[in-house]
Amino acid sequence: MSLFILVALPFLGALLPGLMNSAGRSATAGVTFTVSLTAFVGLLTNLPTILEGEVVMARVDWMPLMGLNFTLMLDGLGFFFALLILGIGLLIIAYARHYLGRDDNMGQFFTYLLLFQGAMVGIVLSDNILLLIIFWELTSLSSFLLIGYWKHLPEGRQGARMALAVTAMGGLAMIAGMLILGQIVGSYDLSEILQHRDLIQADPLYVPALVLILLGCFTKSAQFPFHFWLPHAMAAPTPVSAYLHSATMVKAGIFLMARMWPVLSGTPEWFVIVTSAGLTTMVLGAVIALFKHDLKALLAFSTVSHLGLITMLLGTGTAFGAMAAVFHILNHATFKAALFMSAGIVDHAAHTRDIRRLGGLSRLMPVTFLIATLAALSMAGIPLLNGFLSKEMMLEESGRTVLFGTPWLVPALATFGSLFSAAYSFRLIGHVFLGPKRDDYPATPHDPGAGLWLPPAILVALVVLIGVAPFVVEPFVKLVTASLLGAAGVVPEAHIKIWHGLVPALFLSLIAVFGGLILLSVFKPALRLWDSTPRPEAKAIYDAIVAAAEGLARAIILPLHNGAFTRYAAIGAVTIFAAGYHAWITGTLDAPTRTMQPAGAVPIAGWLMLLGATAGMVLLHRNRLLSLILIGIVGLMVSIGFVFFSAPDLAMTQFTVEVVTIILMLLALNFLPNRTPVESSVLRRVRDAGIAVAGGVATFGLSYHFMLRDAVSTPISEFHLANSYKGGGGTNVVNVILVDFRGFDTYGEIIVLGIAALLIYALTETLLRGPVRARLLNRKPDQPRAGDTHPMMMVVLTRVLLPIVLMVGFYIFLRGHNDPGGGFIAGLIVSIAVVMQYMASGFGWTSARLRYPYHGVIGAGVLTAGLTGIGSWFVGKPFLTSDFTYVRIPPFKEFELATAMLFDLGVFLAVVGAVMLSLESFSRLARLASEVDDDHPMDIDPSREEDDADGLTSTARAGV
């Protein structure tokens, strides 16, 4: 299966659970299971290639100039993690189907799960670090949704926020580190970066890059001091805990350390930072886990401890340590997911996770007891189970590791952590399942159906199989290790087996197991000692930091952001002016290379009109209608200026925009008083005038001096002029820039334009349903309305002109690639034609003849433009790359066809839809305002959908 399909499947499949939700719980889970199963099988189709030691690559250039390419790589390491993500994901889906209650929205849950699954698969298959960062942040967002799935639980919401805050902040640091690596190597492709170990480690930015990347890894994998978020994420449903915190999300940081191991490891900085963090996390997590009474909290801190174990192994920087880390990743995923699911079964059956209220469940829940016991014994490191094998390898590696010049420090702490690990594993078995039955369970415990116990049973079967026959997985573990090591190391010759003889690791293991039993036997006095010992609480520290940051933000932001736009504008203008003044007095200025050109009478007259209209708008701005007229004059003079400087495209755009905006603003003014109240004191107005004059003088001076001098470098306009036709197929450089060279900008702009129109519509809907409705119904116009709402001459004229204007708009659209015009201008022209129909014939008459909703027109425009851009991918070109050719259809002459026309069509539709939706929104408010007019009641014909109730013509006239 193609790697692109493999990554896309979970995201595409996320659309299905919501659609299937009404079909029932089994159908929803079934379609989710099918999606994951398809991806799992698709992954296995690449197994023969991986077993041969080859790498599967897939590449599509996305934004090559930025180094952002959709490049995927499947090697042994990526295959291993993808196998865990998809394989355990299948079991979690089956388990969740029977775990979630009938009140839980299963479609929403599985949608979130598939989004997270897709993000994780994207991380492990990404070959481009910028693409990896995108998927990395998607895991933070999707895990936030999963952890906070039970929105009614305050601890769930808090756990989700904490997880998002910690991992997102670490992700920001990781982004910086990754960008540094890309700059060092000169490429953002991982396959290229991993080939430059010496170059990276010799660079002076190696240490900053290492620290920043490790911050991202440590926060995601809950390493000290960022370990506290993971236990609080246990408020999520148990399937989420079993999936995110045993096999996927917390392993993302581990994966990134393993992926970057060939180029970042082997230095003293890597060894000290990673080994120390891992060892500290391992010991701290194990100690805290022993004294937790909540079953999931115990497992959460045990996860923290085992993640520290893996981190410590990767930190040693040796090939054997890397192989032990790979093996324990596999083992931990199997026994920990099984334990989480077993904890969910206990909670589901007994209605409690409090270990102090449990005990004696072995006779009531024998199947669950067997599954949980085998998984817990593996976690404790008991022989014939897989956890024992990787624990022995860890202890062996720790015995060879010298940290801070002390040879006994690492093995002593590793044994100490293993002792507590054995103790909390034994406590889980003894305090939950062994002992006498109780008569005060919150509910009568019993084994559930196979839907709940079969998924963890499959994992426990793997625990036993690997434990008794490690040779089954040894070749695969070494294959993954070889992929992890890359060119930086050689896979160790050591074999994974149960008996290695009387080696030091065996004695350390015996100390850990028997020490754990002894510690459990004195658990009660140890618990009293633990409870009485003062110690810092990570959550309290986190809450204090958040509260302090919030207080600091309030102290800074509230005095500045008080809602006064004049203050914002003044601060911004003064800052810009001060920076510009500093640059001016400290910089140098070359002698002028040009002379002033003589100005004719016409340009001077136009400039004086522009200056007069601007000054009048400043002096008379309290009269809203007059200000609007003056704004229109300013826009008109700007249009004439464009014509004077031979910029017809800009002139046409400016003119049509002025017409549309004046109409829309007239509608808005209908709901405002005719005059603006005085809100500023004389002193403030003098201050603002001074700032404005200073800014104006500075802008004038800068413009004047630059116009007298040639550009230092070649202007970009020369590139556009030289490549407009041969690169974009058009002689109208402005249009080619909009639809080709900077098509991505235009695409974003039409999206923003559509969103703005939809927001206006949403606000209108709110106003029509809220208390403003009553005010509109009781509103009286401040001036008499015109008696003839729809003059016959205007009605006839606009209907006659409509086809002519549409034809002109069509002509402007077609000629835009080679002559002044284009989709944006054509859209405005057509919008004006339709606006005139509303003004002449009324809202009801026009909207009754509307076949397509304006929302759909906006969507069609954005979709058309987007699909046009995506089409370039199918021919190996970057997004929105246009192409053109010439065709001849008899009896016509040869003419050009360009894909840019389709993109321009999307622009046209988006502009028409946005303008008309905004107009319709204002018109609906005006219609409501005119429904109750005691002085001029309206005669409404019931057969005509309130022809006179649009308020468009009367609005403009009332304003006049």
Residue pair 835/937 in contact by the 8 Å Cβ criterion: no
Alpha helix segments (H runs only) across 260-318: 261-264, 268-290, 295-315
pLDDT at residue 232, as a whole number: 83
pLDDT in tens, 120-166: 999 999 998 888 999 999 999 998 998 888 888 888 888 888 888 89
Rounded mean pLDDT of 797-826? 87
CA distances from 826 to 212, 481, 732, 757, 820 (A): 50, 61, 15, 18, 11
pLDDT at residue 839, as a whole number: 78
Rounded mean pLDDT of 521-527? 90
Q: Is the pLDDT confidence value at 180 over 90?
A: yes
Rounded mean pLDDT of 408-436? 91
Full domain range(s) for residue 64: 1-263
Rounded mean pLDDT of 293-321? 91
- Percent helix, strand, coil in the chain, to 5, is 70, 5, 25
pLDDT at residue 783, as a whole number: 61
Rounded mean pLDDT of 354-370? 90
pLDDT in tens, 584-612: 888 887 888 888 888 888 888 888 888 88
pLDDT at residue 67, as a whole number: 66
pLDDT at residue 515, as a whole number: 92
Question: In 3D, which of 35, 34, 32, 91 has the Cα closest to residue 450?
Answer: 91
Q: How many domains does one find in the chain?
A: 3
- Which of 500, 521, 542 is the C-terminal boundary of a domain? 521
pLDDT at residue 764, as a whole number: 78
Residue pair 266/274 in contact by the 8 Å Cβ criterion: no
pLDDT in tens, 705-728: 888 888 767 778 888 888 888 888
Q: Is the pLDDT confidence value at 430 over 70?
A: yes
The rounded distance, in Å, linking the Cα atoms of 952 and 924 is 10
Is residue 707 situated within a structural domain?
Answer: no
- The distance from CA 777 to its chain's CA centroid, rounded to whole angstroms, is 43
pLDDT in tens, 50-108: 988 888 988 887 777 666 778 899 999 999 999 999 999 999 999 999 888 888 888 88
Tell me which of 403 and 946 has the higher pLDDT: 403
pLDDT at residue 374, as a whole number: 95
Rounded mean pLDDT of 416-430? 93
pLDDT at residue 940, as a whole number: 35
Residue pair 453/393 in contact by the 8 Å Cβ criterion: no
| pTM assigned to the model | 0.72
pLDDT at residue 588, as a whole number: 80
Q: Is the pLDDT confidence value at 250 over 90?
A: no
- Which of 217, 235, 263 is the C-terminal boundary of a domain? 263
pLDDT at residue 939, as a whole number: 37
**Which residues, at least 6 apart from 496, have a Cβ–Cβ distance to it below 8 Å?**
327, 389, 393, 470, 471, 473, 474, 477
Q: Is the pLDDT confidence value at 682 over 60?
A: yes
Rounded mean pLDDT of 629-646? 87
User: Which structure tokens are listed for 220?
Assistant: 């995601």
Q: Are residues 185 and 46 in the same domain?
A: yes
Mean pLDDT of the chain: 85
Is residue 276 situated within a structural domain?
Answer: yes
Q: Are residues 239 and 363 in the same domain?
A: no
pLDDT at residue 628, as a whole number: 87
Q: Are residues 208 and 273 in the same domain?
A: no
Residue pair 698/581 in contact by the 8 Å Cβ criterion: yes
Provide, rounded to the nearest whole percent, the portion of the chain with pLDDT above 70: 93
Q: Is the pLDDT confidence value at 213 over 90?
A: yes
Query: Which pLDDT band holds residue 373 (cuts at 50, 70, 90)?
Result: very high
The rounded distance, in Å, linking the Cα atoms of 118 and 122 is 6
Question: In 3D, which of 456, 534, 47 has the Cα closest to residue 243?
Answer: 456
Q: Is the pLDDT confidence value at 337 over 80?
A: yes
Is residue 546 situated within a structural domain?
Answer: no
The rounded distance, in Å, linking the Cα atoms of 371 and 460 is 6
Q: Is the pLDDT confidence value at 958 over 50?
A: no
Q: Is 207 exposed, middle or buried (0-12, 13-18, 19+ CB in 10 A)?
A: middle
Q: Are residues 66 and 175 in the same domain?
A: yes
Residue 645: phi and psi, rounded to 5, are -95, 20
Q: Residue 1, SS3? A: coil
> Maximum Cα–Cα distance for the chain, whole Å?
107
Q: Are residues 271 and 256 in the same domain?
A: no
pLDDT at residue 230, as a whole number: 85
Q: Work out the angle at residue 781's Cα, subtended by the Cα atoms of residues 779 and 787, and round it to the nearest 5 degrees.
A: 130
Output the CA torsion sign for 83, 84, 87, 90. negative
The rounded distance, in Å, linking the Cα atoms of 446 and 454 is 15
Query: Which pLDDT band holds residue 775 (cuts at 50, 70, 90)?
Result: low
The rounded distance, in Å, linking the Cα atoms of 542 and 162 is 9
Is residue 582 situated within a structural domain?
Answer: no
Q: Are residues 269 and 208 in the same domain?
A: no
Q: Are residues 186 and 304 in the same domain?
A: no
pLDDT at residue 960, as a whole number: 30
pLDDT at residue 936, as a whole number: 41
pLDDT at residue 564, as a whole number: 76
pLDDT in tens, 214-240: 999 999 988 888 888 888 888 888 898
pLDDT at residue 772, as a whole number: 61
Q: Is the pLDDT confidence value at 776 over 70?
A: no
Neighbours of 609 (CB within 10 A): 15
Q: Are residues 246 and 326 in the same domain?
A: no
The rounded distance, in Å, linking the Cα atoms of 40 and 358 is 38
Residue 711: phi and psi, rounded to 5, are -65, 140
Q: Per-residue DSSP letters for 501-515?
A: -S-HHHHHHHHHHHH
Q: Residue 896, SS3? A: strand
Q: Are residues 894 and 846 in the same domain?
A: yes
Is residue 925 situated within a structural domain?
Answer: yes
Is residue 629 situated within a structural domain?
Answer: no
Provide, rounded to the nearest whole percent, the portion of the chain with pLDDT above 90: 29
pLDDT in tens, 889-903: 787 777 777 888 888
Which of these ranges, 302-306, 416-420, 792-796, has the smallest mean pLDDT? 792-796
- Which of 494, 521, 548 is the C-terminal boundary of a domain? 521
Is residue 672 situated within a structural domain?
Answer: no
Q: Is the pLDDT confidence value at 945 over 80?
A: no
Beta bridge partners of 68: 63
Which of these ranges, 377-381, 746-750, 771-775, has the smallest mean pLDDT? 771-775
Q: Are residues 380 and 405 in the same domain?
A: yes
pLDDT in tens, 195-212: 888 899 999 999 999 999
Rounded mean pLDDT of 747-758? 89
pLDDT at residue 948, as a whole number: 38
| E strands in 893-933 | 895-898
Q: Is the pLDDT confidence value at 455 over 90?
A: yes
Query: Which pLDDT band holds residue 930 (cuts at 50, 70, 90)?
Result: low
Question: In 3D, which of 750, 735, 740, 739 has the Cα closest to residue 650?
Answer: 735
Q: Residue 849, SS3? A: coil
Is residue 439 situated within a structural domain?
Answer: yes
pLDDT in tens, 814-836: 888 888 888 889 998 998 888 88
Rounded mean pLDDT of 517-524? 91
Rounded mean pLDDT of 302-314? 93
Q: Are residues 830 and 738 in the same domain?
A: yes
Q: Are residues 15 and 158 in the same domain?
A: yes
Q: Work out the angle at residue 76's Cα, subtended by the Cα atoms of residues 61 and 138, and round it to the nearest 5 degrees.
A: 50
Q: Residue 534, SS3? A: coil
Residue pair 148/108 in contact by the 8 Å Cβ criterion: no
Q: Residue 104, SS3? A: coil
**Which residues, at least 6 apart from 312, have a Cβ–Cβ distance to it below 8 Å?**
274, 275, 278, 279, 282, 394, 398, 410, 414
